[in-house]
Amino acid sequence: MTRDSFDLAIVGGGPAGLAAMDLADECGLSCVLIDENSSLGGRIFHGIETDGQDHLYGTDATWARTLVADAKHAGSILTGRTVFDITHHDDGPINIHILGDEGAETVLARRLLIATGATERPFAFPGWTLPGVMTAGGVQTLLKGAAVVPDGPVVLAGSGPLLLLVALQLKRAGAQIAALLDTTPAANAMAAAPLLASAAFSGFAVWRGLGLLMAIRAQSIPVYRGVTKLVAHGEDTVASVEFEHGRGRRRFECRLLVTHLGILPDTQAARLAGCRLRWEPALPGWVPIVDSYGNTSRSGIMIAGDAAGIGGAESARHAGRVAATEAATQLGAISMGERDHRIAPDLARLKRLGRERAFLDRLFLPPERLRVPTDDGTIVCRCEEITAGELRAQAAGGVCEINQVKAITRCGMGPCQGRVCGVLAADIIADAMGAAVESVGYLRVRPPLKPVPLDVLAARAEIATPPPEAAFLYTREG
């Protein structure tokens, strides 16, 4: 089924998408917002519409709820829909192919804004695939969306603000926290120190971080810093975690091991649409090439929020407003002068928040020793059960491009299409070759972006392939 055409289609119901929806409606555009979750809020505000959950969102709860309420009055909302293909020809509308409970549909739009947010960086070590080992984002989603509190001792391991926040949220929810294992290298603090003053006067993240640390201490959560060489043990489920701390090794029993090693832009939809990427050393990782207004290398397609580069919820809200205003300008709804007047405060705020983000990126930069598992038996690709040793063997044999490795080993060919293993596999191959990660490239994606029933594919005349220029989607230059 093909729906009516819209001026602007937004994929993603987080801060960027919600803010863009409201602003586009204000400019007179017809809008539709598509999100695969059953409710709005995105990953960061998952469950925001549930009463009594304000303690999980802090001071952001008020404006997040306002964003959701405003978006619901701004246009069509399609929740519970998964985008599985995007086709676009420069002389026609953009086709967003979605799947929901009612089957497959195609949404037509003159402009497309991708606001799919961020995804967690994979953190692989021996035992990370055991049941009971979960990412911090996954645990937080269960806590926010279903008020699920783990039973038994919990250990958290990794680095980054989200890990600290989840530790505190679990503790306050009644979970038994056995230990917080901080893998942040001590050298990071020294490297980030010159950026601290600018960050502290540019936003609230630094002060919130200090508040988190004080709260964790007040809750008597045991913290071990400088942790390395993690190993999860167990048979049918995780039973304990072993690690190196100082000059020795320690071990804690646990029923849940929560891991986190930072976040990266979710670029799946952007790459499917044929948008070019660049390597960002500060993450490190791939980000779409966008200008100050969110325009990409593909005409009519824009990206805003963490999907365009990690900035956080407030930054995403401002970026969404900027992108929607740009779309309105391109479609003739407002003039360039009005655009510049509208977005001047947003651009100024984004510039200040950028200084804050530079500090956080440097402080929590994951070192190579954590991004590359040293044990050859560690599984990298869960779908196809490809190990780190198998990838290193390919690199030793001269296979140096990740899509070649994919064709030989099937790494990245499973249902997740490389969402979990892609970044990890590239790090391993680059390390084995002694080369820069960007020279290895990134796994290409093809439709369907996510698994769909065969009858859906059979009902369609064809699944369009990516445009020719999308065959090589990554570049070293911005």
Helices (H), 374-465: 388-396, 402-409, 422-433, 437-440, 454-459
Q: How do the pLDDT tens digits run along the chain, 478 residues long? A: 666 789 999 999 999 999 999 999 999 999 999 999 988 888 888 877 776 666 677 777 788 888 888 888 888 999 999 999 999 876 789 999 999 988 899 999 999 999 999 999 999 999 999 999 999 999 998 988 888 899 989 999 999 999 999 999 999 999 999 999 999 999 999 999 999 999 988 878 888 889 999 999 999 999 999 999 999 999 999 999 999 988 789 999 999 999 999 999 999 999 999 999 999 999 999 999 999 999 999 999 999 999 999 999 999 999 999 999 999 999 999 999 999 999 999 999 999 999 999 999 999 999 888 999 999 999 999 999 999 999 999 999 988 899 999 999 999 988 888 888 999 999 999 999 999 999 999 988 888 888 888 887 777 655 444 444 443 444 434 3
According to DSSP, the β-strands at 277-280 and 474-475 are: parallel
DSSP string, 249-287: EEEEE-SEEEEEE-EEE--HHHHHTT--EEEETTTTEEE
Taking the C-alpha atoms of residue 165 and residue 336, their distance in angstroms, rounded to an integer, is: 41
Neighbour tally for 165: CB within 10 Å: 20
- Structure tokens belonging to residue 83: 């985008």
235 by DSSP, 3-state: which?
A: coil
Q: What is the pTM of this model?
A: 0.91
Sequence length of the chain is 478
* Packing angle of the helix pair 61-72, 15-26 (nearest 10 deg): 50
Taking the C-alpha atoms of residue 155 and residue 130, their distance in angstroms, rounded to an integer, is: 14
Distance of CA 95 to the CA centre of its chain: 24
Give the closest residue to 209 by CA, choosing from 219, 200, 218.
200
Neighbour tally for 386: CB within 10 Å: 23
Residue partners of 456: CB distance under 8 A and separation at least 6:
99, 103, 104
Position 1 scores a pLDDT of 62
Taking the C-alpha atoms of residue 471 and residue 414, their distance in angstroms, rounded to an integer, is: 20
Long-range contact set of residues 400-408: C-beta below 8 Å, sequence gap at least 24: 400/429, 400/433, 400/435, 400/439, 400/440, 401/440, 401/441, 402/426, 402/429, 402/440, 402/441, 402/442, 402/443, 403/441, 403/443, 403/444, 405/429, 406/443
- 79 and 13 Cβ atoms separated by less than 8 Å: yes
Distance of CA 477 to the CA centre of its chain: 22
- 76 and 34 Cβ atoms separated by less than 8 Å: no
Rg (CA), the chain: 22
DSSP E strands: which ranges in 289-361? 301-303
- 33 and 75 Cβ atoms separated by less than 8 Å: yes
Give the closest residue to 98 by CA, choosing from 11, 5, 13.
11
- 139 and 146 Cβ atoms separated by less than 8 Å: no
DSSP string, 143-201: HHHH-----SEEEEEEESHHHHHHHHHHHHTT-EEEEEEE---HHHHHHHGGGHHHHHT
Q: What dihedral do alpha carbons 115, 18, 159, 255 form, nearest 10°?
A: -110
Residue 170 backbone dihedrals phi, psi, to 5 degrees: -65, -45
Residue partners of 304: CB distance under 8 A and separation at least 6:
16, 17, 20, 113, 114, 115, 294, 316, 319, 320, 322, 323
Taking the C-alpha atoms of residue 454 and residue 438, their distance in angstroms, rounded to an integer, is: 35
* Packing angle of the helix pair 388-396, 422-433 (nearest 10 deg): 40
- 357 and 315 Cβ atoms separated by less than 8 Å: yes
